[in-house]
Structure 1
Amino acid sequence: MNQVKTWLEQNKKSIQWLADEIGASHSLMEYILNGEHDLLPDQMVQIARVMGITLEELTAEADSDKNTSQINTSRMHANEVEIDASLVKRLLAAQFPQWAELPLKRVNSSGTDNVIFRLGEDMAVRMPRIESATGQAEMEQLWLPRLAPHLPLAIPAPLAIGVPDKGYPWQWAVYRWFKGEDAIVGRIDDLGQAATVMGQFVAAMQRIDLGDVTPPASSRGMSLAPRDIGVRKAIAELQEMIDQDMATLAWEAALKAPEWQGPAVWIHGDIHAGNLLIEQGRISTVIDFGCMGLGDPAWDMLFAWSILTAETREIFRAALQPDDATWARGRGYALSMGLFALPYYKDTNPMFAGVARCIIDEVLTDYRNGV
């Protein structure tokens, strides 16, 4: 919405300020202002009021923007394969003919590893974009049914796994469709309640003990130190987009936190706004467990800087009760994730780039405030 962007620039107001004014998340506002999501009616009323224009003027521009918006089909990775509805239909016809005639529609998603299609009313097809994302469905099919009884929120599991065919080189999967919108575009009515629920979810995951079964190690369960070179490179690439000096100081502070000395615990590994579904204003489902396994519990602190405010982060922290070192490492993991993602996805995935920018902003806000 160019009119809103121009107004913010002229009045020296930030996207975070506008998000706070209308009760939206920073990442959702990034998404809206990039033309990737429609404003809700109450948000339009509030933005028109803040800008001092009529609702009709704002509505006219929103309608114009809507006419030019479309599903993001940009290539995010140099080595990703071409995936379209025609390919998925051919795969379904060959391997799952019982579903081949159901309506198929590509979903506009912030996901970076997979392309998602809605299949009929009750299913989704998940197609890995890149080789590094392969094997996730098989791992989820093996482990998520074992984890589900221990967790307070719904989690997915594949209904069927397809094999390479029709020129597509990897396994792919059909899942049950979960209702709701992801937390980038879906509105959470009570962030405090969400903080408590997610604190309980992460704590429950950390307590899981499957007995003699040996769980996998998480791909993200390592310490902060191996990420140092990449983080500093990302900071250098983000000139004029972030406070580079502050980001460097925040990162160096996180590196000083003691490493995890306890036993590795179950972690999701990627709990951000794009991997949470919202239904009726509440978090209902946690999705995308491709990074799950045993690792440092600090990784699942990521949620705190992806969605929450400074005040509601304290609610999450109280519900989970991590030690100070784990919290500090978690802030470092969150910062590194945001710094890696923002330059990589800013042109090809504005929705996820908005999440990354929000994470960076929240981490730096805490650091400035000495939290």
Structure 2
Amino acid sequence: MHADQLTVSPDAVRGLIYDQFPEWRGLTIRSIVSHGTVNAVFGVGEHLAARFPLQPGDVETTRRWLRAEAEAAAELVGRTRFPTPEPVALGEPGPGYPLPWSVQTWIPGVVATDDDPGESPAFAYDLAEFITEVRAIDTRGRSFHGGGRGGDLRSHDVWMETCFSNSEQLLDVARLRRIWAVLRDLPRGGTGDVMTHGDLVPGNVLVSDGHLAGVLDVGGLGPADPALDLVAAWHLLEAGPRQALREELGCDDLEWQRGKAWAFEQAMGVVWYYRDSNPAMNRMGRRTLGRIVADNSSA
């Protein structure tokens, strides 16, 4: 999926785990098919998952990043009624893999990429409950920092220009540029940053019988624009359940539109970047943009 992507084989993973965590030597190691874009994931027995970053980096920088992810995951455990992964251990570089890696609990279930909950009002209400409970976590004085999603929409203009330029043969770029020109200027409301999951896309959401069954990839938990987790409305829901989510959360027009803006920014990137390497992410981006275009047309 990435030009400089690292590879890690099941044999290398087995060696790293058995050498560094001998108490797990009796457990089966299996590769997990995932639509994720950040880590290669391997099951360790029935209750653990080992995650290996896909992109190369400095060892100490990667170690700090993994520790920060583990702290975020630990902060979320038990704060909602929906299962989320718990950090278990950090592994070190070794034969077959050059970076630190992590182990967390395995959350069983079917991702929304494979079992679409988009028409389920029950799922929308569950999602609203999750977002509300995450927002209720104390920021402890922290605020958004960094260049990712969750701060100033206009700071993404250079990236969006890259996305538009690379999408000329894929999408109606002229129309999408007009939509972004409006969305990018939406101001922040009067509220400060709140805690957010940060990446509520289908591959990070588990579903069962039209309900939310768990949430994955929680290492990005942190303070951000309260509208950030509203990307889920556009990535995961059709019009009726989307409106149910909005009403349950009590979103005003500005917050709702900013959520749309963050979803738009994310979707524009995944369509061209994962055009050939990750069909599920590509389809998600196209579907999200289609929902946003349709919503704008009906406004």
Instruction: Give TM-score scaled by structure 1 length.
Output: 0.74
Matched to 1:80, the amino acid is Q
Match of 1:322 in 2: 251
Matched to 1:172, the amino acid is W
CA-atom RMSD in angstroms: 2.2
Give the percent of matched residue pairs that are identical in Structure 1 and Structure 2.
28
Match of 2:152 in 1: 223
User: Any residues of structure 2 matched to 1:1-371 within 5 Å, and which?
Assistant: 76-131=1-56, 134=62, 135-188=64-117, 191-209=120-138, 211=140, 217=145, 219-370=148-299
1:311 match: secondary structure = helix
Matched to 2:185, the amino acid is K
1:149 match: secondary structure = coil
Distance 1:179 1:260 in 2: 38
Structure 1 position 307, deviation (Å) = 1.3
Structure 1 position 167, deviation (Å) = 4.8
Of the two, which has the highest radius of gyration? 1
- 5+ residue gaps in structure 2? none
**1:328-352 C-alpha deviation (Å, 9 max, x unpaired):** 1111111110111111111111121
Tell me if structure 2 keeps the 8 A contact 1:217–1:293: no
**1:16-68 C-alpha deviation (Å, 9 max, x unpaired):** xxxxxxxxxxxxxxxxxxxxxxxxxxxxxxxxxxxxxxxxxxxxxxxxxxxxx
* CA gap 1:149/1:121 in 2 versus in 1, 3 angstroms: closer
Matched to 2:252, the amino acid is D
Say which structure is richer in helix: 1
Tell me if structure 1 keeps the 8 A contact 2:73–2:219: no
Structure 1 position 197, deviation (Å) = 1.0
Distance 1:241 1:220 in 2: 24
Tell me if structure 1 keeps the 8 A contact 2:235–2:284: yes
Distance 1:354 1:337 in 2: 13
Aligned residues: 294
Structure 1 position 366, deviation (Å) = 0.9
Distance 1:215 1:102 in 2: 41
Tell me if structure 2 keeps the 8 A contact 1:180–1:186: no
Distance 1:112 1:145 in 2: 22
**1:254-307 C-alpha deviation (Å, 9 max, x unpaired):** 122112442211011110111001234421111102332111111111100111
Tell me if structure 2 keeps the 8 A contact 1:179–1:279: no
